[in-house]
A = this chain, B = another copy of it.
């Protein structure tokens, strides 16, 4: 794909979402669940969140794509998460994984190991999580032991480049690594997306809600385009919001406003660079 072709597909994805209000259901953590839903609504999607295995299955089948975030695990997740991921895989429905805090706790490890076979269409995470997940799945570029520190990254995006490419090649989908400059790859092409704001690290859920927004775009676009579109609108909205405020409370409000106001052309024109993987 050329740069122009990618931009045309971003425009198509954004407009299709605004026109059709597609639903992307989620099983996600309780810290940022409200922000995930509001971000999905702001870009034009529809949101629904569940916890039970049976309801995960129903949502998986009913939605155009599904978002799974392993942030705050409860006992019910032991069954709900693998079951829903299996249903998605078997139904060939796109799904987005956020492997929050991979490496912390045995349930998280068991669940994330099982996800290897269910091949998430998009994996969205910070660099440390990408390295640790590739390690857990025994792919190239992964780290043997997790260097994840709570929910924050201690590694740079470029350090996770090979791991991201290996993960994308394994799933046949795309990987989005969030950091100062974001990296999005389908295993063949690497896109670097620019923009954002340091204040996105001063509010909780910038990463989680990006995963939910990518799931919205995955209802109408390929994993790579969905991941790049979501990343681009986040970089655009972050940069614009920072021009209007310098503190996190008002930044979060302004950020949602900018997500809502961003046009398809704005998002397609947000700066990015392409490389061969």
Contacts and interface: CB of A to CB of B under 8 A. Distances in A.
A245 to B, nearest CB: 8
A33 to B, nearest CB: 5
Contacts of A202: 41-42, 260
Interface string A1-33: 000000000000000000000010100011111
Nearest to A150: B48
Given A256-B248, A257-B250, A74 B52 contact: yes
Contacts of A258: 247
A87 interface: no
Nearest to A71: B49
B204 A34 contact: yes
A154 to B, nearest CB: 11
Contact of A247 (B29, B63, B261): B261
Interface string A255-267: 1111111000000
A47 B257 contact: no
Copies per complex of this chain: 3
A140 interface: no
Given A34-B204, A37-B204, A54-B107, A257 B253 contact: no
A79 to B, nearest CB: 10
Interface stretch (A98-106, A118-126, A179-187): A98-106
Nearest to A152: B46
Contacts of A49: 29-31, 71-72
Nearest to A29: B49
A109 to B, nearest CB: 11
Given A30-B33, A48-B150, A106-B54, A203 B41 contact: yes
A38 B204 contact: yes
Contact of A47 (B25, B35, B204): B204
A204 B30 CA distance: 15
A30 to B, nearest CB: 5
Nearest to A104: B58
Given A62-B149, A105-B55, A253 B249 contact: yes
Contact of A38 (B41, B62, B248): B248
Given A48-B150, A252-B253, 16 more contacts: A23-B152, A31-B34, A31-B47, A38-B203, A41-B203, A48-B101, A49-B71, A49-B72, A51-B74, A52-B107, A55-B104, A59-B104, A62-B150, A247-B258, A247-B260, A247-B261
8 contacts: A30-B30, A38-B249, A49-B72, A50-B72, A55-B73, A245-B257, A249-B254, A250-B253
